[in-house]
Amino acid sequence: MVKVSIKDIAKLSGVSAATVSRTLSKPSLVSKSTRKKVMKAVDETGYKPNRFGASLRTQKSNNVVVVMPDITNQVNAAIIRAIENEATKAGYSVLLGDTQNNIERDSYYGDMVTSGQADGILVFTPRIPFTINKDKPLREQLPPMVNSCEEIDSEYVHKVVIDNQLGAVKAMQHLLELGHTKIAAVKGPSMTPSTKARLDGYKQALIEAGIEVDNRFIITGDYGPESGFQAMEKLLRLKERPTAVFCFSDDMAIGAMNALREYDYDVPGDVSVIGFDDITYASLMSPKLTTIRQPLDQMGTQCMQILLKLMNGNKDVEKYVELPTELIVRQSTGPLVS
């Protein structure tokens, strides 16, 4: 834990600090012989340049922040893994911002990019997390930023998204094709853009099939398994029960299946259940969960790649990348038995 600075290396190898710096970051500017001397000293001492000194001068932190509501969530975890991968490849470190849905923490992390502690920001919540000046146009205040999962309502921010509405339609069409007409929806919190879009898809599919939307069939959860359980309980208490349930997340679908099991209903015999996301555990459930797959890995990778371009000052960067969802039919959905 003895700190070695560039001056020590300079002294040790008999050159100036400038030359040491060049040896390490622009070796082509240094002659082979001095390069060798310097590297020897570096190796002997185990010298690692202090990144703060460098950052201060270059105005680059080589950090990116990622702001997400909950790292424990499989969807988020899968995305962040991909991000981290891509980031390290490009020499960036990732600062983790798990906000636990706390708006103060949103801005705590958001301001990292404002204060120069990070060069870019990846946001998976539907709000711009840093402080903005309402008197100036947003466009001018945007740092390198990419948004995904929950869309921010602004045309200026770069996004990597899926078509949530279409995904929901796919799920519904699958259930409709199986003959179901009494299809319930277990949605997420009403303010979340993903839920809004999926709900639109749910209604659209119903209307196109000539089925009336029944509000008693729409239950609100919080995307977590426990809320799926409770939502299912509510549905089971209805006089006229649904024969199929479209849950807006796999976690809620898993919760719903647990409720059905608890009350002795067969899935998909009595009730079909379809989820959304395709997390790892979806295919490990019994019955295996039918779901709409989000390309989580790809989403993370794309987000980071776009962010890298933005941070490099690249001008022609995709503003809006839409990735495809896919219906994965497994065992939790089946034909209507009347």
Q: What residue 151 binds from DNA, its own copies, none (CB within 5 to 8 A, per partner kind)?
A: none
Interface map 113-152 toward its own copies (x if CB under 8 A): -xxxx-------------x-x------xxxx---------
Based on the shown chain and the rule CB under 7 A, indicate whether residue 335 belongs to the binding site for DNA.
no
**Is beta strand 158-162 parallel, antiparallel or unpaired with respect to 244-247?**
unpaired
Interface map 75-94 toward its own copies (x if CB under 8 A): --xx-xx--xx--x----xx
Of residues 225 and 334, the one with the C-beta less far from its own copies: 225
Pull the structure tokens for residue 192.
């979340």
Q: What residue 31 binds from its own copies, DNA, none (CB within 5 to 8 A, per partner kind)?
A: DNA
Pick from 44, 50, 96, 322 the residue near DNA by CB under 7 A: 50
Of residues 7 and 48, the one with the C-beta less far from its own copies: 48
Of residues 53 and 269, the one with the C-beta less far from DNA: 53
Pull the structure tokens for residue 187.
């949605």
Based on the shown chain and the rule CB under 7 A, indicate whether residue 24 belongs to the binding site for DNA.
yes
Based on the shown chain and the rule CB under 7 A, indicate whether residue 133 belongs to the binding site for DNA.
no
Of residues 4 and 328, the one with the C-beta less far from DNA: 4
**Count of beta carbons in the 10 Å neighbourhood of residue 234:** 15
Based on the shown chain and the rule CB under 8 A, indicate whether residue 71 belongs to the binding site for its own copies.
yes
Residues 6 or more apart in contact with residue 100 via CB below 8 angstroms? 69, 70
Q: What residue 77 binds from its own copies, DNA, none (CB within 5 to 8 A, per partner kind)?
A: its own copies
- What is the DSSP-derived secondary structure letter of residue 288? P
**Is beta strand 326-328 parallel, antiparallel or unpaired with respect to 290-293?**
antiparallel
Pull the structure tokens for residue 199.
């709900």
Residue with tokens 């009494």: 182
Strand partners, 65: 95, 121
Q: If binding means CB under 7 A, how many residues of this protein chain bind DNA?
A: 35
Cα(68)–Cα(102) distance, integer angstroms:
10
- Rounded alpha-carbon distances, angstroms, from residue 199 to 7, 79, 196, 224, 238: 62, 24, 5, 17, 20
Q: Which stretch binds DNA (CB under 7 A): 51-59, 172-180, 299-307, 322-330?
A: 51-59
Least Å distance between CB 50 and DNA? 3
φ, ψ of residue 55 in degrees (nearest 5): -60, -40
Would you put residue 223 in left (φ > 0), alpha (ψ -120 to 50) or beta? left
Strand partners, 247: 186
Distance of CA 162 to the CA centre of its chain: 11
Based on the shown chain and the rule CB under 8 A, indicate whether residue 225 belongs to the binding site for its own copies.
yes
Based on the shown chain and the rule CB under 8 A, indicate whether residue 156 belongs to the binding site for its own copies.
no
- Give which of 280, 261, 262, 263 is closest to 332, Cα–Cα: 261
Q: Which stretch binds DNA (CB under 7 A): 12-20, 257-265, 275-283, 290-298?
A: 12-20
Of residues 8 and 233, the one with the C-beta less far from DNA: 8
Q: What residue 198 binds from DNA, its own copies, none (CB within 5 to 8 A, per partner kind)?
A: none
φ, ψ of residue 67 in degrees (nearest 5): -105, 115
Based on the shown chain and the rule CB under 7 A, indicate whether residue 56 belongs to the binding site for DNA.
yes
Cα(5)–Cα(2) distance, integer angstroms:
10
Could you list the residues that contact its own copies (CB under 8 A)? 1, 3, 46, 48-53, 55-56, 61, 63, 70-72, 74, 77-78, 80-81, 84-85, 88, 93-96, 98, 100, 105, 108, 111-112, 114-117, 131, 133, 140-143, 225, 254-255, 257-258, 261, 280-281, 284-286
